[in-house]
Amino acid sequence: MMALFCEGGAMKTNALVLGFILLTGAAGCLLFHAQAPAKPSVQAWKRLMPPPSIAVKEEVRGAPSGWTVESEDAPHILAGITFYDGLPADMGSLVYDSQKKMGTKLVLTWVLDPDTPRGSWIRCHYAGTNLVLDQQLPKGISAARVVLDTQTHVDGYEQILSIELR
């Protein structure tokens, strides 16, 4: 904001008035430029891209008599995720803090502790297998947001459209 202080008090000004003052040499006025208060820094959301599918090699231990074991070569696609405070093996899973329905989409948001000494983790669940992928999130992450498609399901869960962190 530009402000002009003259004997009559202060008034707001713009570039045209400033140009007038500079050109005419208005006497008895003090001109200064004050910046608007800085907005708090808000980190942008960054997309997290877990593998959309995984290949697994499972085995059956002790097939029942009269049965044969075969393996289908079907992809195991991403079906669900869980966020953890600490290692997933410690079972500190987190529940989302808010949800917002937007048409056929559901947005879930988790508030995470960016300073947790245990670290924040994500576990990815895949359709048709009990094998999972775990990954520690980068330090300093304070929130996670997941967008789901409520009309499409994968292994009984609403399809994940995006995962974002900040």
- 74-106 pLDDT per residue, tens: 889 999 999 999 999 999 999 999 999 999 999
Same structural domain, 13 and 89: no
Give the Cβ contact number of residue 15 at 10 Å.
Answer: 8
pTM value?
0.70
Counting the structural domains of the chain, the total is 2
Mean pLDDT of 58-79: 88
- Domain range for 19 is 2-33
Q: In this structure, is residue 7 part of a structural domain? A: yes
Same structural domain, 94 and 154: yes
Place of tokens 């942008």: 44
Give the torsion sign (CA, 82, 88, 89, 92).
negative
Q: In this structure, is residue 133 part of a structural domain? A: yes
Same structural domain, 29 and 90: no
DSSP state of 93: B
pLDDT tops 50 at residue 66: yes
Mean pLDDT of 38-63: 81
Q: In this structure, is residue 50 part of a structural domain? A: no
Q: In this structure, is residue 131 part of a structural domain? A: yes
